Structure 1
Amino acid sequence: MRRLRSQAAFVAAAVVAGGIALASPAVADPDAGAFRQLVGVGSDTTQDVLNALAGDTVNSTSYSATAVKSTNGAGIASYDAIQPGTGATGTKITTRTGGTTFLRPNGSGAGRTALSESLTGDLDASGASVKGQVDFARSSGGPSASGTALTYIPMARDAVGVAVKGSGLDTLTVQQLHDIYIGRLTEVNGQTVHPKIPQSGSGTRKFFLNAIGVADSDVPASIGVVQENQANAALTEDGALVPFSVGSWIAQNNGVAPDYSKTAAAAGGHLASVQLPGDDGATSPVTTVNGKLAPVNAYYENATFGRDVYNVVPSRSIDPTSIFYDKDLYDVFVTSGSHTAELASDAAESVIAKFGFVNESYNGSISVAKHAKLGGLEESSSFDHSVPNAPTLKSTVGDASLNLSWTPNSAVPAMPVTDYRITLTDADGGVVATKDVAATATSYSFTGLTNGTYTAAVTANNVNGTGAAATWTGAVKYTSKTAATAATTAYGKTPKVVVTVTGSHSVTPTGKVTVKDGTTVLGTGTLDSSGKVTIGLSNHLKVATHSLSVSYAGSTSLNASSTTVSLKITKASASVSTSAPTSVSHTAKAKVTVKVTATGTTPTGTVRIYQGTKVIATGTLSSGKVTVTLPKLAKGKHTLHAFYVGSSTVNSKTGANFTITSK
């Protein structure tokens, strides 16, 4: 356990002994008309250090030589939570050339709300449009709304202490603070307490109440409300106490930040030592080094009263794959991989330390594992935080490519779709590619892919964040091309389809090829080592011109492909032979045997016997033969021939002449 004695008395003595003169707060907003690209509003706690980092003059010291800018030269415009010089609240600011004039956001919550309104286009409490007027919010606390629309980027470490007046409040416990701020404890060490609390929307107020376990709704109305981090207005009587940013207390009392507290400090105001949970003794938030106040790391790093302070940005603005990516914002605020935020440079961190904050290695982190946080847009309680439903997805694979197309979901959220995000991952879940496209897009193609199994996810997004994903999983291969030829073939002979399949990327196709006539499979074959195959079909295909489909089934490396080929089947050619006697009695009837043949088929049909042009007998083939009985022939020599009429599959044919002598 740490046992640290209170240093508050020494701090107060140092402030008084140093003869610190009271000063009026210096104007810190950018000069009128001096508009800069990266506009920030919000927290009182970090406004002065951001003003300095912007290169402005803070409390009569110019920081122009160390102004933080992006690699493109974009600078920061940091606007105070209250009107500089007058301290007035409820005033208005203009942050862009020709931009709208809207209410000055007073505190972390108001800054985050203004940033949200800048994204959604909603109006502020005065009815003014804030759309596009704010780029980031200063925040001394984390999110108040769940979601992913906003990224809270840690800049430094601060702590919340308790500024008090009266020696009876030199040391306090968490339990005492809890009881004081619910109205249960009204006296400490014989000193009547007069608690004060920062204004609604203050990050310090929210953090402090959470640290001592008090709900905002349980704070009595009798507790006075003061502007955050202004001790002069809060410590007006003995027994007064108010939560206070330790960094702000240090910066004000060291003469670095505009003074709202030195009068109170000169009158005995100081930061109380607090018995941190788990400790036996109390720890002061500050110490004195070379006559100046400095942080006590043990207090800053404490999980109860130490806190990170953030710059809040739209998540999509710092995503290099987003169409809303803002490189200037990324350059200034984000540390990721080999990229270091400009706010994390040695010069910037020297300024940050000067204002009473503790620099941390995670300055600029956007990883939730390293102090960054994610939150939703912060607007009215009725604001629709829903994200779009998944679109309807279709896919087509090509040559080492994947084409995706989609249609929006019919259920349209209150906040419209702003973009579609397409993510391609490999079989191991590694991200292969990510693409963000405009809300008007309906398709996207990935090309140049290697063979493998992939999963594609398409989300519709709006300002609230990423919608539900529509997904596709399948194989992406190289393309194949199928070519086929077929020669005209007579019925009865075997038709052949010669198929050649080629693959892209020098891949030799392997596998099966199928030939179909409609839905009927006529033949299959396996490609040889050169990607070719000859497929023999049935020799009894109908005499006609057939349009055949030839399909390659694909392989582990190649997509399937197909083509069509025309195959003409013609009638078979017949051959007619006869066997007849050379002579016959004129009183007898001669018999003639006719045989009709054709390659690959047995002809059927009618045979006629002609004498000249006159048919003298007919017969019907059976198994390709027929014996025809002729009528009685007159005496003499008769020249005859057989004629095969033909069929649906065999052409007609006239046989050779033969003679019969009738005696």
Structure 2
Amino acid sequence: MNVTSRVRAGAVVGAVALALGAFAAPAAIADPPAAEYRTLAGAGSDTTQDVVNALGNVVLNSSNAKIIASYDATGSATIKTRATNCVVNRPNGSSAGITALAADVADTTVDCIDFARSSRGAKTAGSTLTWIPFAKDAVSVAVRTDSALYAAGAQNLTTAQLASIYTCNTTTLNGVTLTPLLPQTGSGTRSFFLEKLGLTDAQVGSCVDQTVQENNGVALNTAGDIAPYSVAQYIAQVNTKVSDIHGATDLIQVNSTAPYTSAFALNTGFTFTRDVYNVVPTAKLTDATIASTFVGSASKVCAATSTLTDYGFGTLGTACGATTITGNN
């Protein structure tokens, strides 16, 4: 089943969302307004786009002007980040954002992208780019609450079970034929999830639909659907801090740990936790605006803790803003 049919068929709001007020209007945060060119332009991860968009509204310079321009992972085919010349293909996902940033660094005739949003760490050794952590997230798996996969006593899977499902060795569970989903290629959530399962892209089974936009619960429209999902994104969607597209899904336990607490906050003790990053050119770490915005625990982004937690993320304390992770991709 393709992504379009999944989205159209799955527009159902679950009981969990109803109980938590899913029909409240979410904050309208997306691409910066046309012709509003801020100092730092970035794109990439779907998982962190909403929280970084929100940071763009609260991170200000000494003149109270907005510093961060964060462009969504999906939308128009291109984005324009400067008043002249900088029309670039819209990066969809962490890897696409990082690739666009690396290309910008390599091309000394342009300066169109200042940072990439990433929900994964560096893949290749090197020193061209620096991954600056700013918040804590986790990845669980979503299933429909009206499915036998969510029946009493079935809301827990182990790492080994998930690996077997995504290699298509386990094809049924609780009498339900499984239809596992993965986010699109280039997704940081996809990379992180497969890494935690001990799998490479080449080991993913032929039964897996690998075309779904990440963190879209509406795409889970049959009883056997199961997909990795950012816990922070799920919390933000159900709390309507962003557009609620969690559909009729809930996140289940992995290795008997819960993805969120009884207070509906990220469980930082969950089995699959990860840092999320803003990636910048290493050569620009000393740039005054980049440094004051991203670098160090006292940076403007790290200081915006209420925005981070409002969007479902955990804070990193003194580890926020570190510049120890480098790579080329």
Residue of structure 2 in register with 1:295 after alignment: 266
Aligned counterparts of 2:186 and 2:149: Cα–Cα separation in 1: 30
Aligned counterparts of 2:42 and 2:139: Cα–Cα separation in 1: 22
Aligned counterparts of 1:217 and 1:26: Cα–Cα separation in 2: 39
Aligned counterparts of 2:21 and 2:284: Cα–Cα separation in 1: 47
The 1:97–1:357 alpha-carbon spacing in structure 2 relative to 1, beyond 3 Å, is: same
Aligned counterparts of 1:17 and 1:167: Cα–Cα separation in 2: 21
Richer in helix (by share):
2
Residue of structure 1 in register with 2:70 after alignment: 78
Q: Is residue 70–residue 331 contact of structure 1 (8 Å, CA) maintained in 2?
A: no
Aligned counterparts of 2:187 and 2:258: Cα–Cα separation in 1: 23
* TM-score, scaled relative to structure 2: 0.88
Aligned counterparts of 1:272 and 1:191: Cα–Cα separation in 2: 16
Give the deviation of 1:214 after TM superposition: 1.0
Taking the TM superposition and a 5 Å limit, the aligned residue runs for 1:213-224 are 213-224=198-209
Paired residue type of 1:119: V
Residue of structure 2 in register with 1:212 after alignment: 197
Taking the TM superposition and a 5 Å limit, the aligned residue runs for 1:529-608 are none
> Is 1:364 paired with 2:321?
yes
The correspondence for 2:326, drawn from 374, 382, 402, is 374
Q: Is residue 154–residue 365 contact of structure 1 (8 Å, CA) maintained in 2?
A: yes
Q: Is residue 23–residue 259 contact of structure 1 (8 Å, CA) maintained in 2?
A: no
Taking the TM superposition and a 5 Å limit, the aligned residue runs for 1:13-162 are 14-21=16-23, 26=28, 28-55=30-57, 67-71=58-62, 75-83=67-75, 91-121=77-107, 131-162=110-141
Residue of structure 2 in register with 1:285 after alignment: 259
Aligned counterparts of 1:38 and 1:21: Cα–Cα separation in 2: 33
Residue of structure 1 in register with 2:307 after alignment: 351
- 3-state SS of 1:358 partner: coil
Give the deviation of 1:109 after TM superposition: 0.2
Aligned counterparts of 1:356 and 1:217: Cα–Cα separation in 2: 32
Please list every run of at least 4 consecutive aligned residues from structure 1 whose deviation after the TM superposition is greater than 3 angstroms.
22-27, 70-74
Aligned counterparts of 1:18 and 1:352: Cα–Cα separation in 2: 20
Aligned counterparts of 2:122 and 2:32: Cα–Cα separation in 1: 27
- 3-state SS of 2:59 partner: coil
Q: How many residues align?
A: 307
Paired residue type of 1:82: T
Taking the TM superposition and a 5 Å limit, the aligned residue runs for 1:70-469 are 70-71=61-62, 75-83=67-75, 91-121=77-107, 131-165=110-144, 166-169=147-150, 170-224=155-209, 225-233=211-219, 235-261=220-246, 264-265=247-248, 269-275=249-255, 282-289=256-263, 293-299=264-270, 302=271, 305-319=272-286, 326-335=287-296, 340-345=298-303, 348-361=304-317, 362-366=319-323, 368=324, 373-376=325-328, 378=329
Q: Deviations over 1:551-599 (max 9, x none)?
A: xxxxxxxxxxxxxxxxxxxxxxxxxxxxxxxxxxxxxxxxxxxxxxxxx
* TM-score, scaled relative to structure 1: 0.45
Q: Is residue 27–residue 241 contact of structure 2 (8 Å, CA) maintained in 1?
A: no
Residue of structure 1 in register with 2:3 after alignment: none
Query: Could you say which structure has the greater relative contact order, defined with CA pairs below 8 angstroms and 6 or more residues apart?
Result: 2
Richer in strand (by share):
1
Give the deviation of 1:363 after TM superposition: 1.1
Aligned counterparts of 1:19 and 1:41: Cα–Cα separation in 2: 30
Paired residue type of 2:241: V
Structure 1: which 5+ residue stretches go unaligned? 1-11, 56-66, 123-128, 276-281, 320-325, 379-663
